[in-house]
Chains A and B, each alone.
Chain A
Amino acid sequence: MKVLIIDNSVQIIERLKELLIESIAELTIKEACTYEDAIYCIEKFNPEIILLDINLPNNQSFDIVKISKSIYSNTVIIVLSIFLDEQIQSKYTNMGADFFIDKYKKFEAVPKIISQIKMERAIL
């Protein structure tokens, strides 16, 4: 299963990658630290799941959701944030984001969600 992690913090990408590899087998993980890398990966890699940090500058995270959904609407987008504002959450949800997870408290939920998706996709 192809997973793209987009975050401007390399350390966080590493931690998430480590967490996913340890938790789930048969994952192909790509990483992007900038908007440009992220768009490139989406287009070339065509990820089934995107872990997206909303903290990219100039609202680039919104654009990524928009573009990603326009390219492949089945891509599951899991938004990770350290800022839990309802309005922002609502805005991402409206744009097509599938999950919204607090990086501080709920990041451990990420492997569970991906496992669940993997299982659902395997059945289908």
Chain B
Amino acid sequence: MGIALIFFAKNNYKIKKDYLQQLEFVKNEAAFQDLYQWVLTAESGARGYSITGNKNFVKNFSKSIDSIRSSYNKILAIEKKQSLNYSPGLAATFSDLINRKIEFNNRLKLLCDNNKRTVAIQLLSTEEGLRLSDSIVLIQELKNKETRASINYKSKKFLAANNQNNNLAYLSILISALLIGIVLFFLTNEIKITKKISEAFKLHREHYKITLQSLSEGLITTNNLGDVQYMNPAAEKLTGWSLTEAKNKPLQHIYNVINEESGMPIDLIISRILNGGETVGLENNTVLRKRDNGDIVISNNGAPLLDGKGNIKGAVILFNDITEKKKIENKLIANEKQFRHLIESLPEAVYTCDTEGYIQHFNLASEKLCGQKPVIGKDKWFDFWRPLHLNGTLVPIDDCPMSITLKQGIAVAGKLTIIKTPDGFSRQVLPNPSPLFDSDGILTGAVNILIDVTDKLEREVLIKKTEEKYKKLIDQAADGIFIFDKQGNFKEANANGCSMLLYSKEKLLQLNLLEITPDQYKGKLPINMEQLHTGLPILVERQFVRSDGTEFYTELSAQLTDDGNIQVIVRDISERKKVEELILKKNSQLRQLSEHLQNIREEERTHIAREIHDELGQQLTVMIMDVAWLDNKIPASELKMKEKLLELHEMLNLTVKSVRRISTELRPSVLDDLGLVAAIDMHIRDFEKRTNIHTVYDLIGVEPFLEDNVKNSLFRIFQESLTNVARHAKATMVKVTIEISANEFILSIQDNGIGYDENLAKSKKTLGVLGMKERAIGINGNYQIKAVAEGGTVINIIVPLKN
């Protein structure tokens, strides 16, 4: 009995202790969750600052660093209390992780406080930065699991012990009623406690189950063979497998992870966990290939599940869909890269510094300009820029625009300053520092854009010099040079332009082009604006009126300028015009003279031809008649005399032929007697007979009355054309067409010879074609000669007919 009571009491004490321990565990776990949640929130400030550059984020982090550290210490204290429930390895790992986290935070704080955002980003993107918090959570989860397993085990022992206690209690009734009451009291009390523990344990299991069910992360547990034993709903959703389907299937079948970049399967994590007992955190870019082949990016951790003795009973995989997070991160990284690339690719020097003047960023153009590369966060801006006044003296640092911006937090449009480059050249720059503020409006530094205007200023000087040079040139030009707007208002005039028009420049610039245009052009600009808008320059002759009212001829060249005005160059061609008019007059006189000479010649020829024909012809006729008479009178016996008379008769006949030929060549009498058409017809027959060139003649219409000069010119052109065919064309056929309409007389001569070569004709300096053209002009006609595509030459003479 005593022993039983002692055993009972001992057992009871142990049960109570376990119960209290269980309560403590629940309490501790809740405390850990609260603390760690707070710690993570506070820590996220540092990450927020690093990504956005907003100091507000880091403010909380910096302020709370001591509290964070204290919280971590509390977590460690909780950890000590819990450590009896799980394996010592886990406890050591957990402590190590917490200490590493404290040390990591200290480093991060230092960077944030010193505005070394870039380095903070680098630190946060290290494996340590990315995984430390996750590892802590994971270890905590593993610890909890082991703790729960331990408590579960103890609870079972407790239930067994409880049954044993009950039996002992019944036995003790027999021993002592008094003690029974006491025992009953204790027993009742213990039953209540046991019930409470049992309810608490049930509650905790329920709580634990609900927690697992409601976890947003996927959780999969396996047995020691790597077969799936449990999946929470999140894991079911993420993998596409239900627990029922997945249960007892190999983990890699359900949890198919690959490397996002290579697409290669990642080593079987389950074997690493189960065989090596490793806690596995998967690398970045891990992709879970879902059952339906959809891919999601995940972060995950895996750890072995240990029994109370530290034996591996299975594995737990905790994973989370970070696809969206990854997208945002990638976008942020891309934006950051773009921004940096933009700054780097700017042709202007751009740098930023913190409030103390330490350089935070320095683009390539800045490096090129100053020839050095600063140590970011260590060198100050004035170690690199030594601005000089334009007179070469050094600008005091406090007077520099950047100093003013950093002191007063205002943007400064700096004056032109000189910067000496390392290669000894001076560059003229315009500094434009602007303050940088955080979201609370606190000055965090400044950005300075140094605009190098050296080349621009040099170009401006060059342009000015060029302008002056051209201005001089324009003023010295012999022509008048003007600029007008589209309405014709004078905008600019050179010296010669003013003297040409006899206006002062001031007066001229108040006038419009119409005001110097003669009456016959009034109301109409002497420049065709439509043609001008085609972009082609205009070259025309125009008259203008000087201020004294005199008119003069000009040659005007106009074109649109880039600014939409009209640039006009005017040349006084009065003298040239006079000469031209004189030449035209002389030409006209020469033509008249030429026509007169032609007519005289024609008349002479006509006269000579008629004289030969009439006088010589009649005398020859008389002689022939007399010879005939003599022949009749002389007896036939006078043979010698008869013979002589015959010779004389033949000689006279030959002479008659010659007379006829000479007369006709000089002037065919048929031209006067029967007209042009008959003369042409006769000439064609004679031509064909003489040359053996087949000639086709076609007459359309009836010959009208033609003046003698028209008849003569047309016949002589025709005669010369046929002569040319016979001499040069190497033709075998000629076609002559006369087409007479009411208004025109068209004579066309076409041959099938070698074709007229204009260049050859010019090089030979022959006057034949020129003479024919002149003859045609003399009768208001038009003479055309050209080679035809199919071979040969065609000549057209078109003469207008008077009604």
Interface hits, A1-27 → B, CB 8 Å: 8-9, 11-12, 15-16, 18-19
Residues of A within 8 A of B669 (CB): 83
Taking a contact as CB atoms under 8 Å apart, the answer to whether B682 and A15 are in contact is no
How many whole Å from A46's CB to the nearest CB in chain B? 27
Residues of A within 8 A of B673 (CB): 59, 88
Interface hits, B589-628 → A, CB 8 Å: 613-614, 617-622, 624-626, 628
How many whole Å from B70's CB to the nearest CB in chain A? 143
Q: Is A108 an interface residue (CB 8 A)?
A: yes
Taking a contact as CB atoms under 8 Å apart, the answer to whether A87 and B614 are in contact is no
Taking a contact as CB atoms under 8 Å apart, the answer to whether B656 and A18 are in contact is no
Taking a contact as CB atoms under 8 Å apart, the answer to whether B613 and A55 are in contact is yes
Q: Is B425 an interface residue (CB 8 A)?
A: no
Q: Chain B's interface: helix, strand, loop or mixed, by majority?
A: helix
Residues of B within 8 A of A72 (CB): none
| Stretch from A63-71, A99-107, A112-120 at the B interface | A99-107
Q: Is B742 an interface residue (CB 8 A)?
A: no
What is the count of residue pairs linking A and B with beta-carbon distances less than 8 angstroms? 61
How many whole Å from B661's CB to the nearest CB in chain A? 11
Taking a contact as CB atoms under 8 Å apart, the answer to whether A55 and B614 are in contact is yes
B620's partner among A83, A88, A104 (CB-CB below 8 A) is A104
Once bound together, how far apart are the Cα atoms of A85 and B652, in whole Å?
A: 20
Once bound together, how far apart are the Cα atoms of A8 and B618, in whole Å?
A: 9
Residues of A within 8 A of B37 (CB): none
Q: Is B660 an interface residue (CB 8 A)?
A: yes
Taking a contact as CB atoms under 8 Å apart, the answer to whether B674 and A87 are in contact is yes
Name the residue on A nearest B660 (C-beta).
A83
Residues of B within 8 A of A108 (CB): 628
Name the residue on B nearest A55 (C-beta).
B614
A83-B669, A85-B670 known; A12-B617 Cβ under 8 A: no
How many whole Å from A97's CB to the nearest CB in chain B? 14
Q: Is A82 an interface residue (CB 8 A)?
A: yes
A87's partner among B617, B626, B629, B678 (CB-CB below 8 A) is B678
Name the residue on B nearest A15 (C-beta).
B625
Once bound together, how far apart are the Cα atoms of A39 and B647, in whole Å?
A: 40
Interface centre among B625, B652, B681 (most CB of A within 10 A): B625
Once bound together, how far apart are the Cα atoms of A106 and B629, in whole Å?
A: 13
Taking a contact as CB atoms under 8 Å apart, the answer to whether A87 and B670 are in contact is yes
Q: How many A residues touch the partner, as a band?
A: 20 to 34
Residues of A within 8 A of B681 (CB): 87
Residues of B within 8 A of A82 (CB): 613, 617-618, 620-621, 656, 660
A→B interface (CB under 8 Å) = 8-9, 11-12, 15-16, 18-19, 55, 59, 82-83, 85, 87-88, 91, 103-105, 107-108
Taking a contact as CB atoms under 8 Å apart, the answer to whether A88 and B670 are in contact is yes
Taking a contact as CB atoms under 8 Å apart, the answer to whether A11 and B622 are in contact is yes
How many whole Å from B621's CB to the nearest CB in chain A? 5
Q: Is B345 an interface residue (CB 8 A)?
A: no
How many whole Å from B421's CB to the nearest CB in chain A? 105
The interface bits of chain B over 283-306 (1 if a CB of A lies within 8 angstroms of the residue's CB, else 0) are 000000000000000000000000
A83's partner among B613, B619, B652 (CB-CB below 8 A) is B613
Interface centre among A82, A85, A103, A107 (most CB of B within 10 A): A82
How many whole Å from A29's CB to the nearest CB in chain B? 16
Taking a contact as CB atoms under 8 Å apart, the answer to whether A88 and B625 are in contact is no
Q: Is B188 an interface residue (CB 8 A)?
A: no
Residues of B within 8 A of A87 (CB): 670, 674, 678, 681-682
How many whole Å from A91's CB to the nearest CB in chain B? 7
Shortest 6 CB-CB contacts between residues of A and residues of B: A15-B625, A9-B618, A11-B622, A82-B617, A103-B621, A104-B656
Once bound together, how far apart are the Cα atoms of A59 and B614, in whole Å?
A: 14
Q: Is B653 an interface residue (CB 8 A)?
A: yes
Once bound together, how far apart are the Cα atoms of A16 and B621, in whole Å?
A: 11
The interface bits of chain B over 639-679 (1 if a CB of A lies within 8 angstroms of the residue's CB, else 0) are 00000000000001100100010000000011001100010
Residues of B within 8 A of A103 (CB): 621, 624
How many whole Å from A61's CB to the nearest CB in chain B? 9
A11's partner among B613, B618, B656, B670 (CB-CB below 8 A) is B618
Residues of A within 8 A of B682 (CB): 85, 87
Taking a contact as CB atoms under 8 Å apart, the answer to whether B674 and A15 are in contact is no
Once bound together, how far apart are the Cα atoms of A114 and B673, in whole Å?
A: 28
Once bound together, how far apart are the Cα atoms of A63 and B625, in whole Å?
A: 27
Taking a contact as CB atoms under 8 Å apart, the answer to whether B621 and A91 are in contact is no
Residues of B within 8 A of A85 (CB): 670, 682
A104's partner among B614, B624, B670 (CB-CB below 8 A) is B624
Query: Can you list 14 contacts pairing A with B, beta carbon distance less than 8 Å?
Result: A8-B614, A9-B621, A12-B621, A12-B622, A55-B614, A55-B618, A83-B660, A87-B670, A87-B682, A88-B670, A103-B624, A107-B624, A107-B625, A108-B628
Residues of A within 8 A of B621 (CB): 9, 12, 82, 103-104, 107
Known: A12-B618, A55-B613, A103-B624. 10 other contacts (CB 8 A): A11-B619, A15-B629, A55-B617, A59-B673, A82-B613, A82-B620, A82-B656, A83-B613, A88-B674, A104-B624
Residues of B within 8 A of A12 (CB): 618, 621-622, 625
Residues of A within 8 A of B613 (CB): 55, 82-83
Once bound together, how far apart are the Cα atoms of A22 and B626, in whole Å?
A: 14
A107's partner among B614, B617, B618, B628 (CB-CB below 8 A) is B628
Name the residue on A nearest B652 (C-beta).
A104
Residues of A within 8 A of B628 (CB): 107-108
Interface centre among A11, A55, A59, A104 (most CB of B within 10 A): A104
Once bound together, how far apart are the Cα atoms of A103 and B670, in whole Å?
A: 18
Once bound together, how far apart are the Cα atoms of A12 and B678, in whole Å?
A: 29
Residues of B within 8 A of A55 (CB): 613-614, 617-618
